Chains A and B, each alone.
Chain A
Amino acid sequence: MSSFIIRRLGFAIVTLFAVLTLVFFIVRILPGDPAMVILGDQASMEAIDALRARLGLDRPLIVQYGDFMVGVLSGDWGTSMVSGRPVIAEILKVLPATIELTLVSLVLGALIGIPLGIWSAVKRNRLPDYFTRLSSLIGLSFPAFVSAILLLLVFSIQLRWFPVISSGQGTTLVDRLRDLALPAINLGLIMAAYITRVARSSMLEVLGQDYIRTARAKGIIFSQIIWRHCLLNSMIPVVTVVGLYLGILIGNSVLTEIVFNRPGLGKLIVGALNQRDYTMLQGMMVIYTLIVVVVNLLTDLTYGFIDPRVKYK
């Protein structure tokens, strides 16, 4: 088990290194010069060149790359080219908001998706199944920003239950919940749609297994079969999917954060990209890569707990 974790960690470091190298060069291939974006379209070439020199962008690429790698390894991710503040500080400031949003949506998605998927499988080809399949299909095909605006129209404009813009000043739990509710529901519904489909197909597969037929032949009550024999076994693919779709969730969180005006990694990365804030983009990619690598690692480890057949060597 521990050698497995060590191997996976080594793998994670190699992945991180490769991603960072790619990001460093891709960001610099992007046309558009940070100095020009910062100074605006009326600045003279002289002023732009002066700023480029101050930002260190006039140095050879390989020197910049070396500095960047040494910086990342030593924990110094540099300062944002636009705000002049440490990249780590800016990221850490908004990271909790994104983690909060992602986790709450994930839980919401699982709470809705797993029971619906199971129900759908058990009632296969009957009304509940059709209903569930249709609604999850709608959930999958709906763009996140459209559903976000619909939620705002209904709950903020018509019912006036929640604010359109997250105040960002919420200190009490109630304020924070009001800010979080709509974005979390928006992402949670998308996640629920994915989970429902996987839970359904995985449940159907388990229901078709010989040991289930045996159990039924022995006269065990159907609901007991579901609870005792099917549930845990059908959850393995669901865990995989949750891990994989976390990436999708983070992608959708970009749109959700923008529509609900919620600070977070998504808003930060879009801003950094528009402003060609190289150092900030690099820092963001370190964080995103870390999240994906860690989630994958956790997903693999979770298998062992829910499926005894999985052995780590």
Chain B
Amino acid sequence: MKRSLLAVACMLIGLSTTNAAQTTLNVGMGSADAGKLDPHLATTTPDKGLLHWMYNGLVRIKPGQASPKFIEPDLAESWTSSADGLTWTFKLRKGIQCHGKYGEFDAEDAVFSIQRAANKDTSSFAKDFGAVGSVEATGSYEVKITLTEPVPSLLGLLVPYHGGNMVCKDAVEDLGEDYQRSPIGTGPFMFAEYQPQQYVKLVSNEDYFRGAPRIKEIYYRYIPSDASRDLAFQSGEIDLIYGKQDQTWVDRIKKIPNTEVVVMEPGEMSVIHLNMTMPPLDNPLVRQAVAHAINRDLMVQFKGPGVTRKSVSIVPEGYLGYTDDITRYPHDPAKAKALLAEAGFPNGVTLKTIHTTLSGMLSTMEAVQATLKESGINLEITTVEHATFHAQIRKDLSQVVHYSAARFPIADVYLTQFFDSASIVGTPTAVTNFSHCNVADAEIRAARVESDSTKQLALWKTAQQKITDMVCAVPIFQNLQLWAWKSSLDLGVNVKGSLNLSPPVTEKAYFKN
């Protein structure tokens, strides 16, 4: 009896071996489950990160980078555009295979993909493709896109991110509703299995046109509890881990032997939007006072200088069109008080905000609250759960809105979504203009169709200057993306950033012995 008990115990202990042959990559993602695995519908960080490894675009940003400066060929080997910028022709590579039994990727698939991305019934990003007039196949491997107005950032729409992911027509039509849970692309890794609340398994695409991946299997595991995820990394069950945007996380994870911690672009920028139609914020002096009252240096210290970057403009640093040559509002409580007094509030003001309970965002807002207090600005925070927060700020219920976001890194996207009057919340064309800002519409709209890049940069700069002068919003800092992996994992590229917010796991990634 004793002996058999011992045997059972040995089995229990003995079986806890790790993967001996390291061709399997275990990833720990901080979410409870997959959302949509259809690349034209997926908008959440966990979904985008996973899809990143399965899809290609016509062009791509060089792996490891996040800036559109690094655009290079992907499924298209070359492209040309007409002088007026309205017609673009892409020549596709030959012999690219869709995952599974769906055959060669050709012009018909590319046309189908772009039309699908531009259709609001099948895409969350339809609006981004608003200027696409027609897409046609002008040969088996040639695609022509005709625009209704010039879009200088057209290539940016065609990288494998959001609507730019190229899908295979036969797969979408064959799978129907199931497509959103069984993605078929052309990338280095193929979808193999989905276990609800557990993992998505990918396998290598041996026919990948850049060569067969060296990693053969990826388990993308959903581990919502931060503590369990960190412990699983520590125990070696996970090779690549999604981090909390927090200095303490970096400091803790760095202590685990043989660990690389990577701080990646793009940053999610925290911006405090001030509703310019609600008193007392309808008074520009009060808004200026808020800008002077917030201590950005302190905020960066508080969040951790290794993981955050101070913000200057309302467009995040690193985005095409960003400028730091702009009016600044240095921390100055005395000046803030004077401005308030001048505006007729010698005893200070009280502002109200509805805020999410998400801890990372909430701690930022509480720190803002503390720095505002020194200048006589009393910020009352009402916390609600995250989905409620999103619903309520879109109903204009919050005077002050703290929004943290990363977008496609071109100034136009941030300016249009947050500061064009067409995007004001509560209107039929609403996006996320919480401040009701309308001071730079002319520049934002002109820049969008300007084909001369120097003029375009000048327009974006003027727009940023005008919005900053009117203090529609106060930028605080950028939170960079944090990931860590075992030193034995070599991704084969130098990782500075990733548009999809997950490190590039390509055909080059492998485990060192």
Q: A164-B237, A263-B196 are in contact. Are A45 and B124 (CB under 8 A)?
A: no
Contact with A along B374-412 (1 / 0, CB 8 A): 000000000011111011101000000000010100000
Q: Is the CB of A156 within 8 A of B199?
A: no
Task: Return chain A residues, CB-CB under 8 Å to B121.
Answer: 50
Minimum CB–CB distance for B240 against chain A, Å: 14
Is A21 positioned at the interface, with any CB of B under 8 Å from its CB? no
**Beta-carbon nearest neighbor of B128 in chain A:** A42
Q: Is the CB of B237 within 8 A of A258?
A: no
Task: Return chain A residues, CB-CB under 8 Å to B225.
Answer: 145, 258-259, 261
Instruction: State which of A32, A157, A174, A259 has its C-beta within 8 Å of the C-beta of B385.
Output: A32
Cα distance A31–B398 in the bound complex, in angstroms: 15
**Beta-carbon nearest neighbor of B162 in chain A:** A42
Q: Is the CB of B387 within 8 A of A267?
A: no
Is B221 positioned at the interface, with any CB of A under 8 Å from its CB? yes
**Beta-carbon nearest neighbor of B193 in chain A:** A169
Q: Is the CB of B32 within 8 A of A41?
A: no
Q: In A152-199, which residues have CB < 8 Å from any B CB?
A: 152-153, 156-157, 160-165, 168, 174-175, 177-178
Q: Is the CB of A164 within 8 A of B235?
A: yes
Task: Return chain B residues, CB-CB under 8 Å to A161.
Answer: 12-13, 16
Stretch at the interface among B204-212, B278-286, B423-431: B423-431
Is B43 positioned at the interface, with any CB of A under 8 Å from its CB? yes
Cα distance A276–B126 in the bound complex, in angstroms: 24
Minimum CB–CB distance for B480 against chain A, Å: 20
Q: Is the CB of A41 within 8 A of B388?
A: no
**Beta-carbon nearest neighbor of B385 in chain A:** A32
Q: A84-B181, A156-B235, A164-B237 are in contact. Are A41 and B405 (CB under 8 A)?
A: yes
Task: Return chain B residues, CB-CB under 8 Å to A260.
Answer: 228
Q: Is the CB of B228 within 8 A of A152?
A: yes
Q: In A258-278, which residues have CB < 8 Å from any B CB?
A: 258-261, 263, 267-268, 270-271, 274-276
Cα distance A258–B31 in the bound complex, in angstroms: 10
Q: A32-B391, A36-B391, A165-B223 are in contact. Are A178 and B15 (CB under 8 A)?
A: yes
Q: Is the CB of B12 within 8 A of A31?
A: no
Q: A165-B237, A263-B198 are in contact. Are A32 and B387 (CB under 8 A)?
A: yes
Cα distance A17–B11 in the bound complex, in angstroms: 49
Instruction: Give the number of residues in B that approach A within 8 Å (Cβ atoms).
Output: 59
Q: Is the CB of A156 within 8 A of B231?
A: yes
Task: Return chain B residues, CB-CB under 8 Å to A271.
Answer: 32-33, 197
Q: A31-B387, A31-B388, A174-B11 are in contact. Are A93 and B228 (CB under 8 A)?
A: no
Is B438 positioned at the interface, with any CB of A under 8 Å from its CB? no
Q: A50-B120, A93-B196, A263-B198 are in contact. Are A41 and B432 (CB under 8 A)?
A: yes
Q: Is the CB of A31 within 8 A of B384?
A: yes
Minimum CB–CB distance for A46 against chain B, Å: 6
**Beta-carbon nearest neighbor of B28 in chain A:** A165
Task: Return chain B residues, CB-CB under 8 Å to A152.
Answer: 227-228, 231
Q: A40-B43, A157-B231 are in contact. Are A168 and B198 (CB under 8 A)?
A: yes
Instruction: State which of A31, A46, A165, A275 has its C-beta within 8 Å of the C-beta of B232.
Output: A165
Cα distance A263–B121 in the bound complex, in angstroms: 32
Is A33 positioned at the interface, with any CB of B under 8 Å from its CB? yes
Is B452 positioned at the interface, with any CB of A under 8 Å from its CB? no
Cα distance A309–B12 in the bound complex, in angstroms: 47
Contact with A along B125-138 (1 / 0, CB 8 A): 11100000000000
Task: Return chain B residues, CB-CB under 8 Å to A42.
Answer: 43, 124-125, 407, 417, 431
Instruction: State which of B181, B234, B394 has its C-beta within 8 Å of the C-beta of A83.
Output: B181
Cα distance A31–B391 in the bound complex, in angstroms: 7
Minimum CB–CB distance for A207 against chain B, Å: 36
Q: Is the CB of B227 within 8 A of A149?
A: yes
Q: Is the CB of B32 within 8 A of A270?
A: yes
Is B488 positioned at the interface, with any CB of A under 8 Å from its CB? no
Q: In B27-80, which residues have CB < 8 Å from any A CB?
A: 28, 32-33, 35-36, 41-44
**Beta-carbon nearest neighbor of A257 in chain B:** B197
Q: In B425-466, which residues have CB < 8 Å from any A CB?
A: 428-432
Residue from the set A31, A90, A261 with the largest chain B CB neighbour count within 10 Å = A261
Is B369 positioned at the interface, with any CB of A under 8 Å from its CB? no
Cα distance A196–B298 in the bound complex, in angstroms: 52
Is B327 positioned at the interface, with any CB of A under 8 Å from its CB? no
Instruction: Give the number of residues in A that approach B within 8 Å (Cβ atoms).
Output: 53
Minimum CB–CB distance for A163 against chain B, Å: 6
Is B224 positioned at the interface, with any CB of A under 8 Å from its CB? yes
Minimum CB–CB distance for B228 against chain A, Å: 5
Task: Return chain A residues, CB-CB under 8 Å to B237.
Answer: 163-165
Minimum CB–CB distance for B513 against chain A, Å: 22
Task: Return chain B residues, CB-CB under 8 Å to A70.
Answer: none
Task: Return chain B residues, CB-CB under 8 Å to A43.
Answer: 43, 124
Q: Is the CB of A33 within 8 A of B43?
A: no
Cα distance A153–B431 in the bound complex, in angstroms: 45
Is A39 positioned at the interface, with any CB of B under 8 Å from its CB? yes
Instruction: State which of A32, A163, A267 has its C-beta within 8 Å of the C-beta of B390.
Output: A32
Is B195 positioned at the interface, with any CB of A under 8 Å from its CB? yes
Q: Is the CB of B196 within 8 A of A83?
A: yes
Is B177 positioned at the interface, with any CB of A under 8 Å from its CB? yes
Is A44 positioned at the interface, with any CB of B under 8 Å from its CB? yes
Is A215 positioned at the interface, with any CB of B under 8 Å from its CB? no
Instruction: State which of B12, B126, B197, B228 has its C-beta within 8 Å of the C-beta of A178.
Output: B12
Task: Return chain B residues, CB-CB under 8 Å to A162.
Answer: 12, 16
Task: Return chain B residues, CB-CB under 8 Å to A44.
Answer: 120, 126-127, 429-431
Q: In A8-42, which residues have CB < 8 Å from any B CB?
A: 30-33, 36-42
Task: Return chain B residues, CB-CB under 8 Å to A149.
Answer: 227-228, 231
Minimum CB–CB distance for B156 against chain A, Å: 15
**Beta-carbon nearest neighbor of A258 in chain B:** B225
Task: Return chain B residues, CB-CB under 8 Å to A82.
Answer: 35-36
Cα distance A42–B225 in the bound complex, in angstroms: 26
Q: Nearest 3 CB-CB pairs, A to B?
A: A40-B43, A32-B387, A164-B232
Could you write out 27 A-B pairs with CB less than 8 Å apart? A30-B388, A33-B391, A36-B391, A36-B394, A37-B390, A38-B36, A39-B41, A40-B124, A44-B120, A44-B126, A44-B127, A44-B431, A47-B123, A50-B121, A84-B177, A94-B196, A152-B231, A160-B235, A163-B237, A164-B228, A165-B228, A258-B224, A259-B225, A263-B195, A263-B196, A267-B33, A275-B35
Chain B residues with a Cβ under 8 A of chain A: 11-13, 15-16, 28, 32-33, 35-36, 41-44, 120-121, 123-127, 177, 180-181, 195-199, 221-225, 227-228, 231-232, 234-235, 237-238, 384-388, 390-392, 394, 405, 407, 417, 428-432
Known: A152-B231, A258-B224, A267-B33. 9 other contacts (CB 8 A): A33-B387, A47-B124, A157-B235, A161-B12, A165-B238, A178-B16, A258-B225, A258-B228, A274-B32
